[in-house]
Amino acid sequence: MSCNSNTGKHNEEDYLCIQCGNRKVTLTSWTNKNPSRRFLSCTDCDEFGGWVDPPMCRRAVQIIPELLRRVKTLELELAKSKARERRMKFYIAATWVVVAVLVMWKKT
């Protein structure tokens, strides 16, 4: 591997898997140790092909997992709010149907 870890530049041969010869893809690590750091990997044999991005500073490694945790919490709250909104729309529609039926029933 002739990767320059400071610039993240790779030669064309760095993109070929040593094990099977297939082309590696760029993936993103979401581990606490390497959050949002890209690396090369073969999708067929899971061969690790080296880092695309240079190591992150310690502060970023501390902050990014916490930010990701907060994003997940907010996404969960958003999903709950959307479900609650759908339920409320259903209740409103059901109420209108009941009112319409009562109005029709009183007219007859």
Closer residue to Zn ion, CB minimum distance, 38 or 60: 38
Q: Is residue 45 a contact point for Zn ion (CB under 5 A)?
A: yes
Residue choice 32, 44, 63, 92 for contact with Zn ion (CB under 5 A): 44
CB-hemisphere CA count at 13 Å for 2? 3
Q: Is residue 20 a contact point for Zn ion (CB under 5 A)?
A: yes
Residue choice 42, 49, 51, 52 for contact with Zn ion (CB under 5 A): 42
- Exposure pattern of 62-77 as b/e (b: 16+ CB <10 Å)? eebbeeeeeeeeeeee
Residue choice 15, 26, 47, 61 for contact with Zn ion (CB under 5 A): 47
Closer residue to Zn ion, CB minimum distance, 44 or 75: 44
Total residues interacting with Zn ion, rule: CB under 5 A: 8
Tell me the two tokens of residue 41: 């990997």
Residue keyed to tokens 């041969």: 13
